[in-house]
Amino acid sequence: MIVEAVELFHVRLPLVFPFETSFGREDDKDCLLVRVEAGGRAGWGEVSTMPAPLYNEETNATAWHVLADFLIPALLGKDVRPGDLPDRFRAIRRHHMAKAGLEAALWDLQAQEQGTSLARALGGTRDRIEVGVSLGIEPALGELLDRVDRFLPQGYRRVKLKIKPGWDVEVVRAVRRHFGDIGLQVDANSAYTLADAPVFRAMDDEGLLMIEQPLAEDDIVDHAQLQAQLKTPICLDESIVTPDDARKALDLGSCRVINVKQARLGGVTNAVRVHDLCQRRGVPVWCGGMLETGVGRALNLALASLPNFSLPADLSASDRYFEQDIIDPPVSLGPDGTIAVPDGVGLGFRVLEDRIGRVTLRHARFKATRGRPAGSARPGKTAARRRPEPEGGRAPGATRRPGEPGRRPPG
């Protein structure tokens, strides 16, 4: 497909309740969306960056810069396939979430072009995904117990608790005592060091499904030492940013489970590579989340339909995150704790462009330059010329959708 135009949207949607992790608190879903036009169609992707570099090193501002000045100019006017992007972008180091958002939009387009669902285009085999709910750190234990109490009856298959020093063993024990034999796991987002091994040994008899990313994101050596002391599987999230990281962590014994997030891995192509590697080695994976809007969630549902995604995903219903999602219909949870994999063409949901317009803070459109040979784009150099002046700041709640009038709806 020839990439004719790309649009970036910086969006902010209020969360229905704040989400606190060991690294900070999110009150809004504040990220970028990417819309790519090719062959008379439009595909959508989400860039899972946040305002601050706390989960990983990227931010909305760095992603905007790298997309606008390097990644988008490298694709405009070119004939590309989503599976080629890791190779095409190899020279541009890291910036995985920026790359993943663009690749996501191309996957949507490719599935549309093939007249099939994204799940089918990726080789998915399931039509429903077992899902869990990830619950943040609360001001007091009572509030966390209330949250668990609110979500469990909805059917979620397991609960993930965010932990940090001072909010860990006692919290896990209290939830266990209160709710009995539920599927339970914890996520520390790298808040501990190996010196805290006693904290994890103290949790080891609580029957946790896994302990996610207890130690530093760049430390698979200490994770291997910690794993050797525990019965509970360690699951790595932040540490695995390439398929090769997954191989090394498994070789070292740093984990027994991997959280596959296409955003962190630089896109679906690499996420599928990690899935396949783990499948060959008998290691279960599950689909992680970044509190995505419906656009990112739709892609994650498709990805999670691959066969080795055998543990419940961090993929909850739209109403766990937002009053109003940006896709239609919103994602809903079945009483059996599963979510249907969309079977419509592409993402399988209608992307609500009007609603996106109302939550957009900044927008820009980049168009392939006619008359210029497709290969002549020099990232960085020509970007300034190709790039239209991004529209000024847009207050949330603005009613007019950004972009030119008379444009085609997606799909």
Q: Could you list the active site residues?
A: 162, 261
User: Which region, judged by CB under 6 A, interacts with ligand SMG, from 30-38, 108-116, 169-177, 287-295?
Assistant: 287-295
Tell me the two tokens of residue 91: 């020279």
- Judged by beta carbon distances under 5 to 8 A according to partner kind, the member of Mg ion, ligand SMG, none in contact with residue 325 is none
Distance (Å) of CA 137 to CA 54, 91, 192, 287: 16, 39, 16, 21
Nearer to ligand SMG, 46 or 353 (CB): 46
Nearer to ligand SMG, 333 or 383 (CB): 333
> Quick check: 227 binds ligand SMG (CB under 6 A)?
no
Nearer to ligand SMG, 78 or 147 (CB): 147
- The pairs formed by 148-151 with CB atoms below 8 angstroms and a separation of 24 or more are 148/175, 148/178, 148/179, 149/179, 151/320
> Quick check: 187 binds ligand SMG (CB under 6 A)?
yes
User: Which region, judged by CB under 5 A, interacts with Mg ion, from 121-129, 180-188, 219-227, 295-303?
Assistant: 180-188
Phi, psi for 103 (deg, rounded to 5) = -60, -40
Sheet of strand 41-47: strand arrangement: 41-47, 24-38, 5-21, 360-367
Residue 113 · residue 1 · CB < 8 Å: yes
DSSP 91-119: TS---HHHHHHHHHHHHHHHHHHHTSBHH
> Quick check: 232 binds ligand SMG (CB under 6 A)?
no
Nearer to ligand SMG, 117 or 134 (CB): 134
Cα–Cα dist 208/186, whole Å: 8
- Helices 96-114 and 294-303 cross at an angle (nearest 10°) of 70
> Quick check: 262 binds ligand SMG (CB under 6 A)?
no
Give the three-class secondary structure for 204.
coil
- Judged by beta carbon distances under 5 to 8 A according to partner kind, the member of ligand SMG, Mg ion, none in contact with residue 314 is ligand SMG
Give the per-residue contact string, 30-69, with ligand SMG (x = CB under 6 A; - = no).
-------------------------x--------------
- Judged by beta carbon distances under 5 to 8 A according to partner kind, the member of ligand SMG, Mg ion, none in contact with residue 107 is none
Cα–Cα dist 325/339, whole Å: 16
> Quick check: 237 binds ligand SMG (CB under 6 A)?
yes
Give the per-residue contact string, 197-236, with Mg ion (x = CB under 5 A; - = no).
---------------x------------------------
Residues binding ligand SMG: what is the number (CB under 6 A)?
Answer: 14
Beta bridge partners of residue 346, listed in sequence order: 117
> Quick check: 314 binds ligand SMG (CB under 6 A)?
yes
Nearer to Mg ion, 117 or 270 (CB): 270
**Least CB distance from residue 90 to ligand SMG, whole Å?**
26
Q: Which of 121, 272, 291, 295 binds ligand SMG (CB under 6 A)?
A: 291
Give the three-class secondary structure for 214.
coil
Residue owning tokens 């090193």: 57
Q: Which of 288, 337, 357, 410 binds ligand SMG (CB under 6 A)?
A: 288
Nearer to ligand SMG, 26 or 138 (CB): 26
Cα–Cα dist 171/341, whole Å: 33
61: Cβ contacts below 8 Å, ≥ 6 apart: none
> Quick check: 200 binds ligand SMG (CB under 6 A)?
no
- The closest residue (CB) to ligand SMG is 289
DSSP 368-405: PPTTS-GGG--TTTTHHHHSPPPP----TT--SPSS-T
Q: Which of 59, 134, 293, 338 binds ligand SMG (CB under 6 A)?
A: 134
Q: Indicate the DSSP class of residue 67.
A: I
Cα–Cα dist 195/170, whole Å: 19
- Judged by beta carbon distances under 5 to 8 A according to partner kind, the member of Mg ion, ligand SMG, none in contact with residue 26 is ligand SMG
Q: Which of 56, 112, 189, 305 binds ligand SMG (CB under 6 A)?
A: 189
**Least CB distance from residue 120 to ligand SMG, whole Å?**
24
Cα–Cα dist 82/80, whole Å: 7
Q: Which residues lie near ligand SMG (CB under 6 A)?
A: 19, 21, 26, 55, 134, 187, 189, 237, 288-291, 314, 316
